Structure 1
Amino acid sequence: MTKGRRGKDPAYNPEDPPSSYEGPTYNTVSGAATVHGSVIQAHTVTIGGRPRSRFEKALDNDADLLAESLRNQWRAEEEQCKIRDPIPLLVRWRSAPDELMDHWSNIHRSPDGSVCQPLSLAGRLDEILEVHRRIPSRRLVVLGRAGSGKTILTIRFVLDRLAARGNPADPVPVLFSLASWNPSTTTLRRWMTGQLERDYPRLAERRDQPGLARAGPGGSTRAAALVGNDRILPVLDGFDEIADGLHRPALEALNDTDMPLLLTSRRTEYAAAVAGTRVLASAAVVELTALSLTDLDNYLPRTTRKATPTSTVWDPVLKHLRDHPRHPASVRLATVLATPLMVALARTIYSDTPDRDPSVLLDTDRFRTPEALEDHLLDNFIPTVYRDQPPAHRARIPHQLGYLAQHLDRLGTRDLAWWQLGSTLPRSSRMCVIGLVTALAFGLVDALLMWPVIWHLGFGLVPGLRTALLNGASFGSTCGLGFGLVYGLRYGKAAPEPSRVRVRLLGGTKEMHKEIVPRLVIGLIGGYGFGFMAWTVSTLVIGLAEPSGYGLLTLLAVGAQTGLIDGLLYGPAAGLTFALMALFEAPIDIETAVSPPALLRANRATVLFHLLLFVLFIVLASGILCWAQLIRFADWIAIGGVGGLGGGLAYALSLTAWGQWVSLSRIWLPLTGRLPWTVHAFLKDAHRRGVLRQSGAVYQFRHARLQDHLAHVSRMPR
């Protein structure tokens, strides 16, 4: 019996052909995948009487680890959103009209069309897996209005499907938010691969990694192998949230594949796409129904305290709805509480808060339309979940969340990524901010380190300070201008993706070792350019500011000579730093999805380790020159301390995802009042309070309707 332990793949043989995989159906099963705490054991499985190949076992291992990670992630999110507290709302559905559904013979996959009888598709939340399995094509579309429970249903489907996985070759259900998919530029499989690589960095490893499954047609990574070999069951949430004008191309792209899937959408957008092209091929379609008064009776009273031994604060409201169903207040409230989203908001505002009375929802003077009631619930949700905060702080939170909502609107996505928070500012503003921050960082390091040295050389305390400040200003301005321009050219259109690696002193992976030579070359060029330009310009500026008797051409010659020498120090130091980092970097483990806080911490550690190595190499190199009496002690401090620490800080703050997060999101956005100073804690707290949910490495607003409402309110004059 062959076993593969968690985090360690079976050996990989490049000669094992991917064609040996015959699909997810077993003929003979001699083992099963078992999960016990933190250990997954993939037992030997035979197909058609033969042992599974190393290629297949590598796929099995990746799929099992991904399944465990997804199970933990979505179970935590379900608990965070109180979906099963105290009981799940009974989300139900019925078959959609025939014009939105393909022919039954296609749904049955009947070659000659003889099997064409309709299927019974009606069901409720705990039957979603059974209904999906009832469909021979395994392709199901779920339609529903905003807030009708589509996302709740997808989470339940993923968890039920994961619980039902019987063997390693079963496809792993993965929930994808379709808002970021552009079908005109990216195929569905390639986009799915990219999403997996973003949220599970180990799946981004290349195929020549030991034990790695051979890649599929979409690329050469673990994620591509899983997608290309149909080991992923896509759960595509939010077809309606794809950018305007792309719904028809998206439906056409979905029809280019026959993979099993579950797709959710609002009815209007899906029907419009169908009218422009055709229905989703071989897919059955169901439509979510409204919650009934019985559903509310069974749910809302159980979510709150008892007002008396036999009644709750919800009982008078529900009694009014039953006794006076045609009363205007009853009609409006019943219309609003027909969706799980609004019921959840009402529960948060009136059930979880001891001093709130839901009877106000029957006030016909305050709420003359259902829309007014919905706005009331949306408006009061944020103040309610932040009710424990001081009034002044609580008043700022809707505007700060509103900025985040507007930011996502401008990006055209639902994914709130920390590394993109400043990317919707104008490019010129971002360049100025990056240039200013790097100039200040370099200038302060320069002035603080050089002042004692200049004083020691006999310039005196005050003259030494003046010279040190002038030196810091010249070096800092040169550095800020250079890094600001490089940032604008390199990242003016899009923020850099964060590094999904962690520092491991025992050694990186073979995949990372391949980066040594390219990183060495890039570091040599970049370090030399920085050293040459910074010292040439700074020598010129200081020479012109201080009476020296030298002419401009002489200063240029001296500056170029100094820059040439110092460039020969900075180039090798930067090259060695970037090259050696490849020996210590390893992708973050697949066992757990990368959370936004974890990814931020990993990037900070990586950047700081880069900085430490760069300073170390610069100090050692210049120290050797000082020991050999080729440069003075003051030059050692200037080159090693100022150049190493100042230059490293400038690079970190301008050209890394973590540094740009610090410069734009931790400094500029709070300084201008758009976000709080503790942005990371603010996002984490919003997730804890149920305003945001976590989806892999990014956050999302709890519901698209909440995001849209906050964005709209924040645009209104205060």
Structure 2
Amino acid sequence: MTSEFSALLKQRRREAQMTQEALAERAGVGVRTIRGLETGERADPRVTTVRLLADALGLSPEEREGLLAAAVRRTGDDGPPESSTVPTTPAEPVAGGPPGSLHETLADVSEQLAQTVAARWRREEEQRQVHDPYPLPVRWQPVAEELTDHWANIRRLPAGGTHGPLDLSGQLDEIVGVYRRIPSGRLVVLGRSGSGKTILAVRFVLDHLKSRGRADAVPVIFSIGSWDPTAMTFRDWLAAQLTRDHPGLAASGPGGPSLAAALVETGRVLPVLDGFDEIADGLRRPALEALNATTLPLLLTSRPSEYAAAVAETDVLTSAAAVELTDLTLSDLADYLPRTTRKSRGGDLSATAWDPVLSELHERPDSRAGANLAAVLTTPLMVTLARALYSNTPDNDPASLLDTGRFARPQELEDHLLDNFTATVYRPLPGHRPGSGPRRAVDPERAQYWLGYLAHHLTRLDTPDLEWWRLGHRMRRTTRTLVTALMVCLAIGLVDGIVGTLFDSFAFQLADGLVAGPLSGLLFGIAYWFLVAGKNAAVEPSAVRMKIFSREGKTRRSSLRRLVIGLLCGFLFGLGYGFVRAALNGVRFHLGIPTVLAIGLADGIIYGLMFALGAGPALGLLTLFETPLDIRSAVNPVSLLRTNFRTVATQLLVWAPTFGLMVGLGSMVVIRPMSAILGPVVWSLTAALKLGVISGLGGALGYVFSLTAWGQWTVFSRIWLPLTGRLPWSLVTFLEDAYRRGVLRQAGAVYQFRHARLQQHLARAYQAKRSRSGSRGTGAS
């Protein structure tokens, strides 16, 4: 069925007196694409494609705007396409043209972002059983006046306007309505640990998205604990977090360096800042000052004491109202806990295992047992932990919580719930056999140790975000470099030794591998130190994908820069390789030092030119095949890992043959002039072929292991950390299993522990176990 866009495209093509084939060739798209768009078979006209067509047709600014508007309406009517409608190349404004196309482009991006955010947090609510059987009540009350701004500022009143407090009363399902009563659009939600701040933030996002209009900002949850306000501005940090969770937003955008930055700068993102209290102690004051320097609407959550301390040091959050979450009541517990467990068998079917506990709390609230338990079961966190330990585990009797011999103080009860949570969720299921179902059997003690290491890792990084590409980041920089160099050494040494036997004897190749492996490890280790470890950085996941037949993402400047880098690195590697080979031959044949130096210099220059002619063009060529990732490519950490793997795999398919071919051909090109300058050089076609094959495979592996996020993940998370016992061998399976069991949650492209209290508890338990066993953890400090 044809559409307005289909008819308009056909009309503009005929007015330009062009055939479909001619338009396809001029626009750089396929003929099938043109045919599908004109017949209506393709219901997903990308903004990028529409712009290419408009350029090829030579449309005026008004005609261009009309074609783009028709495409946007078509996409909006038909729903989201299978392939993203988000532009993957810059949406540049037309000189002198109307700004509407920029507005529509960002509106399209916002729609995609809204769909992704909604799907993500709906799935998270399901994983956390928020609606099973119903959400625990979350209520709030006004806070002390010294923690809020003047009501005239909150109301955005002009000078002299009358003012008074706003009515901010409500409960969980009314949070969006309460927020919209605040003219400034700035709200602070305070609550003690486990009081339901994150649950409220999630519900706010989902309910806001349900009633969101196309022009409204998209609410996005950001874990603000990872922000260093002294190193990055607030807007830049928001854009960086958006890019991390949605790599497609790294694409160049209208009016800004990236789509993420454009969304932030144009107010199309409503920041929901979760965990202000998780910012490092010395950074909360500058963080609050930085937030006050902006006028962005936002919702901020924090524990009361940390926020109050920051306010005392500087000022309240400008124009922000504030509320504080209240404790759960005995009535809340009586309504909720019995509905989370099975009915009694026989007798009174309305009775449950929680009855003795609820009776104690109701009838003897002043008893030692009742007072202790009442002090603990006042937050959603502790109630959900108690549910996991007792409602979901028939063998455990909740009446044991009343044992004052075991639990003399409320803190001991909390520690008990936290201690046994992981043991409970990892308990073997009755009749479950390893491999018999989707849930893997994991030893609870080992699981707690591995989770403890991850929690300790996050504590040392001072962040709640478990990023798979940073799992080796807290090792000493020298250790990281040595491990990376060792892996490169082994990989290239094996490639040289095994593949080389196709050309030379095993003994010769063994010796050659013993030279090439350590030297490659040394040089790649040096490169890794200067580019990554020396800066105390981590290799970020690629923001591009490899598409061999795509014209998108070509940037001459980037290609030229990589060409120069490749030429320089290739020459330095070849110089070192040739010199070391000459030195070993000098020792082997008992040559004098002057002769060895002369041969080493000559071989170094020859090999340097060979590898330079291979590395430069190969790196430059990679750029031509890069195109920005789609906005929906990082729905979760595993999808980002898989996307990065596919990018690396394609890079290998391009890099290895290109580098190998260029080195082989470069050797034949270099030998003749070098022979004329340096004297006779023994070389053959077989030697060129051998060098090309080994260089292509070895160079590609060295690049992947040392300078890609997936390679670093493989080195540390798949080999080194499991080898040293700190993580399981199948880490992805373990993390996904922990997510399904409710220990971890997903926040975009990263994992987080379901609660900061759980992370802190596991980190302390891990540290205590290490102290008792005397284990230092190689390179972990």
TM-score normalized by the length of structure 1: 0.89
Q: Hey, what does 1:536 align to over in structure 2?
A: 579
Of 139, 155, 158, the match for 1:108: 155
Matched, 1:181 2:227: yes
Alignment of 1:691-710 (within 5 A): 691-710=743-762
Q: Hey, what does 1:275 align to over in structure 2?
A: 312
CA distances 1:641-667 after superposition (whole Å, capped 9, x unpaired): 222212221222122222222122221
Post-superposition offset of 1:112: 2.2
Post-superposition offset of 1:320: 2.0
Change (3 A) 1:619 1:108: closer
Q: Hey, what does 1:333 align to over in structure 2?
A: 373
Alignment of 1:250-261 (within 5 A): 250-261=287-298
Alignment of 1:228-267 (within 5 A): 228-267=265-304
Q: Is the 8 A contact 2:141 2:326 kept in 1?
A: yes
Q: Is the 8 A contact 1:569 1:622 kept in 2?
A: yes
Of 402, 405, 426, the match for 2:455: 405
Of 244, 247, 250, the match for 1:201: 247
Q: Hey, what does 1:461 align to over in structure 2?
A: none
CA distances 1:562-610 after superposition (whole Å, capped 9, x unpaired): 3322332322322222222222222221135442212222222222332
Q: Is the 8 A contact 2:613 2:663 kept in 1?
A: no
Alpha-carbon distance in 2 for matches of 1:532, 1:648: 19
Alpha-carbon distance in 1 for matches of 2:98, 2:702: 56
Alpha-carbon distance in 1 for matches of 2:252, 2:628: 11
Q: Given residue 462 of structure 2, which amino acid in structure 1 is its aligned partner?
A: G
Q: Given residue 581 of structure 1, which amino acid in structure 2 is its aligned partner?
A: L
Q: Hey, what does 1:477 align to over in structure 2?
A: 518
CA distances 1:222-250 after superposition (whole Å, capped 9, x unpaired): 11111111111110111111111111111
Q: Hey, what does 1:552 align to over in structure 2?
A: 593
Matched, 1:285 2:289: no
Task: Using the TM superposition, name which of 414-423 and 683-692 deviates more.
Answer: 683-692
Post-superposition offset of 1:484: 1.5
Q: Is the 8 A contact 2:554 2:624 kept in 1?
A: no
Alignment of 1:518-597 (within 5 A): 518-544=561-587, 546=588, 548-597=589-638
Alpha-carbon distance in 2 for matches of 1:145, 1:7: 47
Q: Hey, what does 1:47 align to over in structure 2?
A: none
Alpha-carbon distance in 2 for matches of 1:486, 1:329: 62
Q: Given residue 137 of structure 2, which amino acid in structure 1 is its aligned partner?
A: L
Q: Is the 8 A contact 1:93 1:124 kept in 2?
A: yes
Q: Given residue 556 of structure 1, which amino acid in structure 2 is its aligned partner?
A: L
Corresponding residue SS for 1:72 = helix
Post-superposition offset of 1:5: 4.5
Corresponding residue SS for 2:344 = strand
Q: Is the 8 A contact 1:508 1:582 kept in 2?
A: no
Q: Hey, what does 2:29 align to over in structure 1?
A: none
Task: Using the TM superposition, name which of 645-654 and 702-711 deviates more.
Answer: 645-654
Change (3 A) 1:641 1:298: same
Change (3 A) 1:6 1:138: farther
Gaps of 5+ in 2: 7-42, 62-72, 87-96, 435-440, 673-682, 774-781
Corresponding residue SS for 1:553 = helix
Alpha-carbon distance in 2 for matches of 1:693, 1:7: 33
Alpha-carbon distance in 2 for matches of 1:73, 1:100: 33
Post-superposition offset of 1:115: 2.9
Q: Hey, what does 2:540 align to over in structure 1?
A: 497
Alpha-carbon distance in 2 for matches of 1:177, 1:299: 29
Task: Using the TM superposition, name which of 3-12 and 369-378 deviates more.
Answer: 3-12
Q: Hey, what does 1:313 align to over in structure 2?
A: 353
Q: Is the 8 A contact 2:546 2:651 kept in 1?
A: no
Post-superposition offset of 1:52: 7.4
Q: Given residue 477 of structure 1, which amino acid in structure 2 is its aligned partner?
A: P
Alpha-carbon distance in 2 for matches of 1:700, 1:477: 38
Task: Using the TM superposition, name which of 443-452 and 412-421 deviates more.
Answer: 443-452
Post-superposition offset of 1:172: 0.6
Change (3 A) 1:114 1:659: same
Matched, 1:342 2:382: yes
CA distances 1:664-700 after superposition (whole Å, capped 9, x unpaired): 2221111111111112222222222211111111111
Q: Hey, what does 1:138 align to over in structure 2?
A: 185
Q: Is the 8 A contact 1:7 1:591 kept in 2?
A: no
Alpha-carbon distance in 2 for matches of 1:250, 1:276: 12
Change (3 A) 1:542 1:648: farther
Change (3 A) 1:658 1:332: same
Change (3 A) 1:138 1:242: same
Q: Given residue 510 of structure 2, which amino acid in structure 1 is its aligned partner?
A: L
Change (3 A) 1:41 1:635: closer
Post-superposition offset of 1:136: 1.3
Post-superposition offset of 1:316: 2.3
Q: Is the 8 A contact 1:502 1:588 kept in 2?
A: yes
Post-superposition offset of 1:635: 1.7
Q: Is the 8 A contact 1:502 1:606 kept in 2?
A: yes
Matched, 1:322 2:362: yes
Change (3 A) 1:618 1:35: closer
Q: Given residue 187 of structure 1, which amino acid in structure 2 is its aligned partner?
A: T
Corresponding residue SS for 1:414 = coil
Of 191, 206, 209, the match for 1:162: 209
Alpha-carbon distance in 2 for matches of 1:41, 1:431: 41
TM-score normalized by the length of structure 2: 0.82
Alpha-carbon distance in 1 for matches of 2:720, 2:465: 22
Q: Hey, what does 2:34 align to over in structure 1?
A: none
Change (3 A) 1:410 1:300: same
Alpha-carbon distance in 2 for matches of 1:387, 1:512: 54
Alignment of 1:390-469 (within 5 A): 393-455=443-505, 464-465=506-507, 467-469=508-510
Name the count of aligned residue pairs: 677
Alpha-carbon distance in 1 for matches of 2:654, 2:554: 21
Alpha-carbon distance in 2 for matches of 1:706, 1:552: 64
Post-superposition offset of 1:469: 2.0
Q: Is the 8 A contact 2:663 2:695 kept in 1?
A: no
Task: Using the TM superposition, name which of 328-337 and 2-11 deviates more.
Answer: 2-11
Alpha-carbon distance in 1 for matches of 2:668, 2:102: 56
Corresponding residue SS for 2:492 = helix
Task: Using the TM superposition, name which of 284-293 and 685-694 deviates more.
Answer: 685-694
Alpha-carbon distance in 2 for matches of 1:514, 1:53: 30
Q: Is the 8 A contact 1:73 1:593 kept in 2?
A: no
Matched, 1:669 2:709: no
CA distances 1:427-459 after superposition (whole Å, capped 9, x unpaired): 12112111211111111111112335332xxxx
Gaps of 5+ in 1: 18-29, 43-49, 208-212, 456-463
Percent sequence identity over aligned pairs? 50
Corresponding residue SS for 1:176 = strand
Alpha-carbon distance in 1 for matches of 2:557, 2:209: 36
CA distances 1:465-489 after superposition (whole Å, capped 9, x unpaired): 2x32222112111111222222122
Alpha-carbon distance in 1 for matches of 2:140, 2:258: 38
Of 53, 56, 60, the match for 2:100: 53
Query: Over aligned residue pairs, what C-alpha RMSD do you find?
Result: 2.8
Change (3 A) 1:593 1:454: closer
Q: Is the 8 A contact 1:226 1:232 kept in 2?
A: yes
Q: Hey, what does 2:403 align to over in structure 1?
A: 363
Alignment of 1:639-678 (within 5 A): 639-678=691-730
